[in-house]
Structure 1
Amino acid sequence: MVNYYSIKEPIIHEIDIKKSRFITYLIPIQTEEEFNEQLATIRKKHYKATHHCQAFILNEDSSIQRMSDDGEPSGTAGVPMLEVLKRNNLTYIMAVTVRYFGGTKLGAGGLIRAYSTSVSETLNHAKLIANATQMVIELTIEYNQVDNFNYYLEQTSTPITVLDTQYTDKVSQTLALYLGDIEPVHKELIDLFSGQIEWTEIGEQTVDVPVTSTQPD
Protein backbone atom coordinates (compact mmCIF):
# COMPACT_ATOMS: atom_id res chain seq x y z
CA MET A 1 0.00 0.00 0.00
CA VAL A 2 1.35 3.42 -0.97
CA ASN A 3 1.09 5.94 1.86
CA TYR A 4 2.22 8.98 -0.12
CA TYR A 5 4.42 10.20 -2.98
CA SER A 6 7.29 12.65 -2.66
CA ILE A 7 10.80 13.27 -4.02
CA LYS A 8 13.96 11.44 -3.00
CA GLU A 9 16.37 14.36 -2.74
CA PRO A 10 16.63 18.12 -3.30
CA ILE A 11 16.91 19.39 -6.86
CA ILE A 12 17.46 22.80 -8.47
CA HIS A 13 16.51 23.83 -12.00
CA GLU A 14 16.61 27.20 -13.77
CA ILE A 15 14.68 28.63 -16.71
CA ASP A 16 14.93 32.03 -18.38
CA ILE A 17 11.83 33.88 -19.60
CA LYS A 18 12.19 37.31 -21.23
CA LYS A 19 15.49 37.87 -19.42
CA SER A 20 14.04 37.01 -15.99
CA ARG A 21 15.72 34.09 -14.23
CA PHE A 22 13.44 31.62 -12.44
CA ILE A 23 15.43 29.25 -10.17
CA THR A 24 13.30 26.55 -8.57
CA TYR A 25 14.28 24.51 -5.53
CA LEU A 26 12.35 21.33 -4.74
CA ILE A 27 13.22 19.89 -1.32
CA PRO A 28 11.75 16.98 0.66
CA ILE A 29 10.73 18.13 4.16
CA GLN A 30 8.95 16.66 7.17
CA THR A 31 7.91 19.75 9.17
CA GLU A 32 7.01 23.41 8.80
CA GLU A 33 10.08 24.29 10.87
CA GLU A 34 12.23 22.54 8.29
CA PHE A 35 10.52 24.54 5.55
CA ASN A 36 11.34 27.80 7.34
CA GLU A 37 14.98 26.78 7.77
CA GLN A 38 15.37 25.83 4.10
CA LEU A 39 13.62 29.03 2.97
CA ALA A 40 15.92 31.16 5.14
CA THR A 41 18.96 29.46 3.58
CA ILE A 42 17.66 30.12 0.06
CA ARG A 43 16.82 33.76 0.87
CA LYS A 44 20.33 34.26 2.24
CA LYS A 45 21.93 32.73 -0.85
CA HIS A 46 19.77 34.76 -3.25
CA TYR A 47 19.53 37.96 -1.21
CA LYS A 48 19.63 40.10 -4.37
CA ALA A 49 16.68 38.31 -6.00
CA THR A 50 13.41 40.17 -6.63
CA HIS A 51 11.11 37.44 -5.26
CA HIS A 52 11.29 34.17 -3.34
CA CYS A 53 7.90 32.58 -4.05
CA GLN A 54 6.94 29.47 -2.12
CA ALA A 55 4.60 26.51 -1.71
CA PHE A 56 4.69 23.43 0.47
CA ILE A 57 2.55 20.42 1.37
CA LEU A 58 2.80 18.27 4.49
CA ASN A 59 1.18 15.12 5.97
CA GLU A 60 0.15 11.88 4.28
CA ASP A 61 -3.31 13.31 3.54
CA SER A 62 -1.78 16.62 2.32
CA SER A 63 -3.75 18.40 5.04
CA ILE A 64 -1.20 21.21 5.45
CA GLN A 65 -0.75 23.40 2.40
CA ARG A 66 0.82 26.84 2.32
CA MET A 67 1.92 29.23 -0.41
CA SER A 68 3.20 32.77 -0.85
CA ASP A 69 3.49 35.12 -3.84
CA ASP A 70 6.26 37.06 -2.02
CA GLY A 71 5.45 40.36 -3.69
CA GLU A 72 4.27 39.10 -7.06
CA PRO A 73 0.64 40.00 -7.97
CA SER A 74 -1.82 37.97 -5.89
CA GLY A 75 -2.39 34.46 -7.21
CA THR A 76 0.31 34.55 -9.90
CA ALA A 77 3.11 32.62 -8.18
CA GLY A 78 2.36 30.64 -5.01
CA VAL A 79 -0.96 29.26 -6.25
CA PRO A 80 0.31 27.87 -9.58
CA MET A 81 3.37 26.44 -7.80
CA LEU A 82 1.14 24.70 -5.24
CA GLU A 83 -1.17 23.42 -7.98
CA VAL A 84 1.72 21.65 -9.72
CA LEU A 85 2.62 19.83 -6.50
CA LYS A 86 -1.03 18.89 -5.91
CA ARG A 87 -1.55 17.78 -9.51
CA ASN A 88 1.37 15.37 -9.12
CA ASN A 89 -0.06 14.01 -5.85
CA LEU A 90 3.04 14.96 -3.85
CA THR A 91 3.45 15.73 -0.17
CA TYR A 92 6.26 16.28 2.33
CA ILE A 93 7.71 18.64 -0.27
CA MET A 94 8.50 22.33 -0.62
CA ALA A 95 9.04 24.47 -3.69
CA VAL A 96 10.78 27.83 -3.75
CA THR A 97 11.13 29.73 -7.02
CA VAL A 98 13.64 32.57 -6.92
CA ARG A 99 13.09 35.29 -9.52
CA TYR A 100 15.68 37.74 -10.74
CA PHE A 101 13.67 40.35 -12.66
CA GLY A 102 14.98 40.89 -16.18
CA GLY A 103 13.29 44.20 -16.93
CA THR A 104 10.28 42.94 -18.91
CA LYS A 105 6.91 42.58 -17.19
CA LEU A 106 5.17 39.29 -17.95
CA GLY A 107 1.62 40.15 -16.95
CA ALA A 108 -0.57 37.98 -14.73
CA GLY A 109 -0.97 35.20 -17.29
CA GLY A 110 2.71 35.19 -18.11
CA LEU A 111 3.67 34.99 -14.44
CA ILE A 112 1.29 32.09 -13.80
CA ARG A 113 2.78 30.19 -16.74
CA ALA A 114 6.33 31.03 -15.71
CA TYR A 115 6.01 29.83 -12.11
CA SER A 116 3.99 26.77 -13.09
CA THR A 117 6.47 25.83 -15.82
CA SER A 118 9.47 26.33 -13.57
CA VAL A 119 8.13 23.90 -10.96
CA SER A 120 6.91 21.41 -13.59
CA GLU A 121 10.26 21.33 -15.39
CA THR A 122 12.12 20.89 -12.11
CA LEU A 123 9.85 17.96 -11.23
CA ASN A 124 10.70 16.37 -14.58
CA HIS A 125 14.30 16.09 -13.35
CA ALA A 126 13.43 14.90 -9.83
CA LYS A 127 13.55 11.33 -8.56
CA LEU A 128 10.08 10.46 -7.29
CA ILE A 129 9.56 8.03 -4.43
CA ALA A 130 6.57 6.22 -3.01
CA ASN A 131 6.45 5.78 0.74
CA ALA A 132 4.83 2.38 1.02
CA THR A 133 3.99 -0.29 3.55
CA GLN A 134 6.01 -3.29 2.43
CA MET A 135 7.23 -6.63 3.67
CA VAL A 136 10.96 -6.72 4.36
CA ILE A 137 12.54 -10.03 3.32
CA GLU A 138 15.98 -11.41 4.08
CA LEU A 139 17.06 -13.57 1.16
CA THR A 140 20.25 -15.58 1.61
CA ILE A 141 21.92 -17.15 -1.44
CA GLU A 142 25.28 -18.59 -2.45
CA TYR A 143 27.92 -16.53 -4.25
CA ASN A 144 27.44 -18.57 -7.42
CA GLN A 145 23.75 -17.58 -7.44
CA VAL A 146 24.30 -13.81 -7.36
CA ASP A 147 24.53 -13.28 -11.14
CA ASN A 148 21.29 -15.17 -11.73
CA PHE A 149 19.58 -13.23 -8.97
CA ASN A 150 20.74 -9.88 -10.41
CA TYR A 151 19.49 -10.96 -13.83
CA TYR A 152 16.15 -11.84 -12.26
CA LEU A 153 15.94 -8.34 -10.74
CA GLU A 154 16.66 -6.78 -14.13
CA GLN A 155 14.05 -8.85 -15.96
CA THR A 156 11.14 -8.96 -13.53
CA SER A 157 8.29 -6.48 -13.85
CA THR A 158 7.61 -6.79 -10.11
CA PRO A 159 8.88 -3.78 -8.13
CA ILE A 160 11.55 -5.12 -5.77
CA THR A 161 13.76 -2.79 -3.75
CA VAL A 162 17.15 -4.00 -2.50
CA LEU A 163 17.62 -2.23 0.83
CA ASP A 164 20.95 -3.79 1.79
CA THR A 165 23.45 -6.48 0.79
CA GLN A 166 25.78 -8.27 3.20
CA TYR A 167 28.68 -10.51 2.11
CA THR A 168 29.81 -13.15 4.58
CA ASP A 169 30.12 -16.87 3.90
CA LYS A 170 26.93 -16.34 1.86
CA VAL A 171 25.20 -13.31 0.35
CA SER A 172 22.27 -11.85 2.29
CA GLN A 173 19.96 -9.49 0.39
CA THR A 174 17.45 -7.39 2.33
CA LEU A 175 14.49 -6.85 0.02
CA ALA A 176 11.27 -4.83 0.22
CA LEU A 177 8.15 -6.11 -1.54
CA TYR A 178 4.55 -5.01 -1.81
CA LEU A 179 2.44 -7.39 0.23
CA GLY A 180 0.64 -8.79 -2.80
CA ASP A 181 3.94 -9.69 -4.46
CA ILE A 182 5.40 -11.80 -1.64
CA GLU A 183 3.98 -15.18 -2.65
CA PRO A 184 4.63 -14.98 -6.42
CA VAL A 185 8.21 -13.69 -5.96
CA HIS A 186 8.94 -16.37 -3.38
CA LYS A 187 7.68 -19.04 -5.78
CA GLU A 188 9.68 -17.63 -8.70
CA LEU A 189 12.90 -17.65 -6.68
CA ILE A 190 12.24 -21.14 -5.34
CA ASP A 191 11.79 -22.34 -8.94
CA LEU A 192 14.82 -20.37 -10.20
CA PHE A 193 17.19 -21.81 -7.61
CA SER A 194 15.53 -25.22 -7.17
CA GLY A 195 14.68 -24.39 -3.58
CA GLN A 196 18.30 -23.60 -2.64
CA ILE A 197 17.60 -20.28 -0.91
CA GLU A 198 16.90 -19.02 2.61
CA TRP A 199 13.82 -16.76 2.76
CA THR A 200 12.85 -14.98 5.98
CA GLU A 201 10.02 -12.48 6.34
CA ILE A 202 11.29 -9.81 8.75
CA GLY A 203 8.03 -7.86 9.02
CA GLU A 204 6.12 -4.94 7.56
CA GLN A 205 7.84 -1.56 7.39
CA THR A 206 7.31 1.77 5.67
CA VAL A 207 9.90 2.07 2.92
CA ASP A 208 10.74 4.77 0.36
CA VAL A 209 10.87 3.05 -3.01
CA PRO A 210 11.48 4.48 -6.50
CA VAL A 211 8.33 5.25 -8.45
CA THR A 212 7.90 2.92 -11.43
CA SER A 213 5.39 2.71 -14.25
CA THR A 214 3.98 -0.40 -12.57
CA GLN A 215 3.50 1.22 -9.16
CA PRO A 216 0.65 -0.39 -7.19
CA ASP A 217 -2.03 1.84 -5.70
Structure 2
Amino acid sequence: MSERSASSSSYTTISGEYRHEIEIKRSRFITVLRRSETEDQARELVADLRREFHDARHHCSAFVLAPDRSVQRSNDDGEPSGTAGAPMLDALLRRDTTRGVADLSDIAAVVVRYFGGVLLGAGGLVRAYSESVSQAMATAPEVRRQRMKLYAVPAAHTEAGRLENELRTAGTVVLGSDYSGTGARLRVALEDVPEVVAAFRQQLAALTSGGPDPEPLGTEWVDLP
Protein backbone atom coordinates (compact mmCIF):
# COMPACT_ATOMS: atom_id res chain seq x y z
CA MET A 1 0.00 0.00 0.00
CA SER A 2 1.38 3.41 -0.91
CA GLU A 3 0.03 6.82 0.03
CA ARG A 4 0.28 9.58 -2.56
CA SER A 5 2.32 12.66 -1.79
CA ALA A 6 0.98 16.17 -1.31
CA SER A 7 2.35 17.15 -4.73
CA SER A 8 0.14 14.66 -6.56
CA SER A 9 -2.07 16.05 -9.31
CA SER A 10 -4.90 13.57 -8.78
CA TYR A 11 -6.80 11.78 -6.05
CA THR A 12 -9.89 9.61 -5.53
CA THR A 13 -13.23 10.46 -3.96
CA ILE A 14 -16.85 9.32 -4.27
CA SER A 15 -19.96 10.91 -5.72
CA GLY A 16 -23.07 11.52 -3.65
CA GLU A 17 -24.00 9.52 -0.57
CA TYR A 18 -23.91 5.80 0.23
CA ARG A 19 -25.17 3.73 3.16
CA HIS A 20 -24.32 0.32 4.54
CA GLU A 21 -25.38 -1.50 7.71
CA ILE A 22 -23.90 -4.39 9.68
CA GLU A 23 -24.96 -6.03 12.95
CA ILE A 24 -22.52 -7.28 15.56
CA LYS A 25 -23.81 -8.94 18.74
CA ARG A 26 -27.18 -7.24 18.33
CA SER A 27 -25.64 -3.75 17.93
CA ARG A 28 -26.52 -2.03 14.64
CA PHE A 29 -23.76 -0.07 12.89
CA ILE A 30 -25.17 2.15 10.13
CA THR A 31 -22.43 3.76 8.04
CA VAL A 32 -23.16 6.78 5.86
CA LEU A 33 -20.54 8.07 3.43
CA ARG A 34 -20.94 11.43 1.72
CA ARG A 35 -18.69 13.38 -0.57
CA SER A 36 -17.64 16.52 1.29
CA GLU A 37 -15.19 19.17 0.16
CA THR A 38 -15.30 21.42 3.26
CA GLU A 39 -15.44 20.93 7.02
CA ASP A 40 -18.86 22.57 7.05
CA GLN A 41 -20.17 19.97 4.59
CA ALA A 42 -18.70 17.14 6.65
CA ARG A 43 -20.22 18.46 9.87
CA GLU A 44 -23.53 18.93 8.09
CA LEU A 45 -23.62 15.17 7.51
CA VAL A 46 -23.21 14.57 11.25
CA ALA A 47 -25.99 17.05 12.02
CA ASP A 48 -28.29 15.49 9.41
CA LEU A 49 -27.84 12.02 10.87
CA ARG A 50 -28.31 13.20 14.44
CA ARG A 51 -31.73 14.44 13.35
CA GLU A 52 -32.55 11.33 11.32
CA PHE A 53 -31.33 8.82 13.93
CA HIS A 54 -32.17 10.94 16.98
CA ASP A 55 -32.70 7.90 19.21
CA ALA A 56 -29.27 6.34 18.52
CA ARG A 57 -26.67 6.36 21.28
CA HIS A 58 -23.64 7.24 19.14
CA HIS A 59 -22.96 9.18 15.92
CA CYS A 60 -19.22 8.66 15.44
CA SER A 61 -17.47 10.44 12.58
CA ALA A 62 -14.31 10.80 10.54
CA PHE A 63 -13.47 12.82 7.48
CA VAL A 64 -10.56 13.46 5.12
CA LEU A 65 -10.50 16.62 3.00
CA ALA A 66 -8.37 18.44 0.40
CA PRO A 67 -6.32 17.09 -2.50
CA ASP A 68 -3.32 16.55 -0.22
CA ARG A 69 -5.53 15.06 2.55
CA SER A 70 -4.27 17.78 4.88
CA VAL A 71 -7.56 18.00 6.83
CA GLN A 72 -8.25 14.92 8.96
CA ARG A 73 -10.74 14.81 11.83
CA SER A 74 -12.43 12.13 13.93
CA ASN A 75 -14.86 11.98 16.85
CA ASP A 76 -15.75 9.09 19.18
CA ASP A 77 -19.06 10.66 20.26
CA GLY A 78 -19.23 8.97 23.62
CA GLU A 79 -17.52 5.68 22.79
CA PRO A 80 -14.33 4.92 24.76
CA SER A 81 -11.50 7.13 23.55
CA GLY A 82 -9.82 5.84 20.39
CA THR A 83 -12.29 3.02 19.71
CA ALA A 84 -14.50 4.65 17.04
CA GLY A 85 -13.41 7.84 15.27
CA ALA A 86 -9.73 6.92 15.00
CA PRO A 87 -10.28 3.46 13.45
CA MET A 88 -12.86 5.00 11.08
CA LEU A 89 -10.33 7.61 9.98
CA ASP A 90 -7.65 4.95 9.61
CA ALA A 91 -9.99 2.90 7.39
CA LEU A 92 -10.45 5.91 5.10
CA LEU A 93 -6.73 6.75 4.98
CA ARG A 94 -5.61 3.19 4.32
CA ARG A 95 -8.29 2.31 1.78
CA ASP A 96 -6.63 1.18 -1.46
CA THR A 97 -8.62 2.56 -4.38
CA THR A 98 -8.94 1.01 -7.84
CA ARG A 99 -5.76 2.94 -8.79
CA GLY A 100 -3.85 0.71 -6.37
CA VAL A 101 -2.93 3.52 -3.98
CA ALA A 102 -4.40 4.95 -0.78
CA ASP A 103 -5.43 8.38 -2.08
CA LEU A 104 -9.01 8.76 -0.87
CA SER A 105 -10.10 12.30 0.09
CA ASP A 106 -13.05 14.71 0.19
CA ILE A 107 -15.12 12.14 2.05
CA ALA A 108 -16.99 12.12 5.36
CA ALA A 109 -18.04 8.96 7.20
CA VAL A 110 -20.52 8.69 10.04
CA VAL A 111 -21.31 5.45 11.85
CA VAL A 112 -24.59 5.48 13.76
CA ARG A 113 -24.65 2.84 16.49
CA TYR A 114 -27.71 1.39 18.15
CA PHE A 115 -26.46 -0.48 21.25
CA GLY A 116 -27.67 -4.08 21.33
CA GLY A 117 -27.08 -4.77 25.01
CA VAL A 118 -23.84 -6.73 24.64
CA LEU A 119 -20.55 -5.00 25.46
CA LEU A 120 -17.99 -5.46 22.68
CA GLY A 121 -14.91 -4.32 24.57
CA ALA A 122 -12.32 -1.89 23.24
CA GLY A 123 -10.90 -4.28 20.67
CA GLY A 124 -14.34 -5.29 19.49
CA LEU A 125 -15.38 -1.68 19.03
CA VAL A 126 -12.24 -0.84 17.04
CA ARG A 127 -12.87 -3.78 14.71
CA ALA A 128 -16.58 -2.97 14.38
CA TYR A 129 -16.13 0.69 13.45
CA SER A 130 -13.24 -0.03 11.11
CA GLU A 131 -15.12 -2.84 9.38
CA SER A 132 -18.26 -0.74 9.09
CA VAL A 133 -16.42 1.93 7.11
CA SER A 134 -14.43 -0.58 5.03
CA GLN A 135 -17.56 -2.46 3.99
CA ALA A 136 -19.37 0.78 3.15
CA MET A 137 -16.45 1.90 0.99
CA ALA A 138 -16.67 -1.33 -0.97
CA THR A 139 -20.20 -0.33 -2.08
CA ALA A 140 -19.38 3.27 -3.05
CA PRO A 141 -18.35 3.90 -6.68
CA GLU A 142 -15.12 5.85 -6.93
CA VAL A 143 -14.54 9.12 -8.76
CA ARG A 144 -11.07 10.20 -9.84
CA ARG A 145 -10.29 13.92 -9.65
CA GLN A 146 -7.38 15.51 -11.44
CA ARG A 147 -5.90 18.98 -11.62
CA MET A 148 -6.54 20.05 -15.21
CA LYS A 149 -6.03 23.06 -17.45
CA LEU A 150 -9.36 24.38 -18.75
CA TYR A 151 -9.81 25.87 -22.20
CA ALA A 152 -12.67 27.36 -24.20
CA VAL A 153 -12.79 26.30 -27.83
CA PRO A 154 -14.82 28.64 -30.07
CA ALA A 155 -16.91 27.05 -32.82
CA ALA A 156 -19.72 27.94 -35.17
CA HIS A 157 -23.17 26.60 -34.28
CA THR A 158 -23.06 24.28 -37.26
CA GLU A 159 -19.66 22.83 -36.27
CA ALA A 160 -19.98 22.57 -32.47
CA GLY A 161 -21.65 19.16 -32.39
CA ARG A 162 -19.20 17.58 -34.80
CA LEU A 163 -16.21 19.09 -33.02
CA GLU A 164 -17.40 17.95 -29.60
CA ASN A 165 -17.92 14.41 -30.87
CA GLU A 166 -14.47 14.34 -32.48
CA LEU A 167 -12.81 15.55 -29.30
CA ARG A 168 -14.64 13.07 -27.07
CA THR A 169 -13.80 10.23 -29.45
CA ALA A 170 -10.14 11.22 -29.23
CA GLY A 171 -10.30 11.01 -25.44
CA THR A 172 -10.46 14.71 -24.61
CA VAL A 173 -12.48 15.58 -21.50
CA VAL A 174 -15.28 17.89 -22.69
CA LEU A 175 -17.03 19.55 -19.75
CA GLY A 176 -19.84 21.09 -21.78
CA SER A 177 -20.80 23.64 -24.41
CA ASP A 178 -22.10 27.21 -24.10
CA TYR A 179 -24.19 28.67 -26.91
CA SER A 180 -24.85 32.30 -27.74
CA GLY A 181 -26.15 34.25 -30.69
CA THR A 182 -22.68 34.46 -32.23
CA GLY A 183 -21.59 30.85 -31.85
CA ALA A 184 -20.59 28.16 -29.35
CA ARG A 185 -17.77 27.63 -26.86
CA LEU A 186 -16.74 24.13 -25.90
CA ARG A 187 -15.15 23.82 -22.47
CA VAL A 188 -12.42 21.18 -22.35
CA ALA A 189 -10.05 19.97 -19.63
CA LEU A 190 -6.49 18.89 -20.36
CA GLU A 191 -3.86 17.24 -18.21
CA ASP A 192 -1.64 19.95 -16.75
CA VAL A 193 1.39 18.89 -18.79
CA PRO A 194 2.95 21.10 -21.54
CA GLU A 195 3.25 18.20 -23.99
CA VAL A 196 -0.45 17.37 -23.64
CA VAL A 197 -1.49 20.97 -24.24
CA ALA A 198 0.77 21.23 -27.29
CA ALA A 199 -0.63 18.01 -28.75
CA PHE A 200 -4.18 19.26 -28.21
CA ARG A 201 -3.45 22.50 -30.05
CA GLN A 202 -2.17 20.49 -33.01
CA GLN A 203 -5.19 18.19 -32.92
CA LEU A 204 -7.58 21.14 -32.75
CA ALA A 205 -5.87 22.87 -35.66
CA ALA A 206 -6.31 19.73 -37.76
CA LEU A 207 -10.00 19.38 -36.82
CA THR A 208 -10.81 23.03 -37.53
CA SER A 209 -8.56 23.58 -40.55
CA GLY A 210 -6.37 25.97 -38.58
CA GLY A 211 -9.23 27.65 -36.73
CA PRO A 212 -8.87 29.92 -33.66
CA ASP A 213 -6.67 28.92 -30.74
CA PRO A 214 -8.30 27.69 -27.53
CA GLU A 215 -8.74 30.31 -24.81
CA PRO A 216 -7.14 29.47 -21.41
CA LEU A 217 -9.65 29.49 -18.53
CA GLY A 218 -7.32 28.62 -15.67
CA THR A 219 -6.63 25.45 -13.70
CA GLU A 220 -9.21 23.49 -11.68
CA TRP A 221 -9.83 20.10 -10.12
CA VAL A 222 -12.07 18.10 -12.44
CA ASP A 223 -14.05 14.86 -12.01
CA LEU A 224 -12.88 12.51 -14.75
CA PRO A 225 -15.49 10.47 -16.65
Q: TM-score, normalised by structure 2?
A: 0.72
Structure 1 residue 190 and structure 2 residue 205: aligned? yes
Task: Return the letter of the residue paired with 2:88.
Answer: M
Cα–Cα, structure 1 residues 136 and 175, in superposed 2: closer, same or farther, change >3 Å?
A: same
Structure 1 residue 30 and structure 2 residue 38: aligned? yes
Partner of 1:7: 13
Structure 1 residue 52 and structure 2 residue 67: aligned? no
Mapped partners of 2:41, 2:164: distance in 1 = 40
1:167 deviation in Å?
A: 3.1
Counterpart of 2:125 (choices 104, 111, 114) is 111
Query: Gaps spanning 5+ residues in structure 2: where?
Result: 1-6, 95-101
Q: Identity over the aligned pairs, expressed in percent?
A: 33
Residues 108-159 of structure 1, C-alpha deviation per residue, up to 9 Å, x if partnerless? 4443333223323333414434252x32211233535624642541452xxx
Counterpart of 1:202 (choices 216, 219, 222) is 216
Matches within 5 A, 1:75-94: 75-87=82-94, 88-94=102-108
| C-alpha RMSD of matched pairs (Å) | 3.1
Query: Gaps spanning 5+ residues in structure 1: where?
Result: 213-217
Cα–Cα, structure 1 residues 202 and 21, in superposed 2: closer, same or farther, change >3 Å?
A: same
Mapped partners of 1:196, 1:79: distance in 2 = 57
Mapped partners of 1:105, 1:152: distance in 2 = 59
Task: Return the letter of the residue paired with 1:56.
Answer: F
Mapped partners of 2:215, 2:190: distance in 1 = 10
Cα–Cα, structure 1 residues 67 and 12, in superposed 2: closer, same or farther, change >3 Å?
A: same
Does the Cα contact within 8 Å between 1:53 and 1:97 map onto a contact in 2?
Answer: yes
Partner of 1:150: 165
Structure 1 residue 162 and structure 2 residue 162: aligned? no
3-state SS of 1:198 partner = coil
Cα–Cα, structure 1 residues 129 and 188, in superposed 2: closer, same or farther, change >3 Å?
A: same
Cα–Cα, structure 1 residues 47 and 144, in superposed 2: closer, same or farther, change >3 Å?
A: same
Counterpart of 2:189 (choices 145, 162, 176) is 176
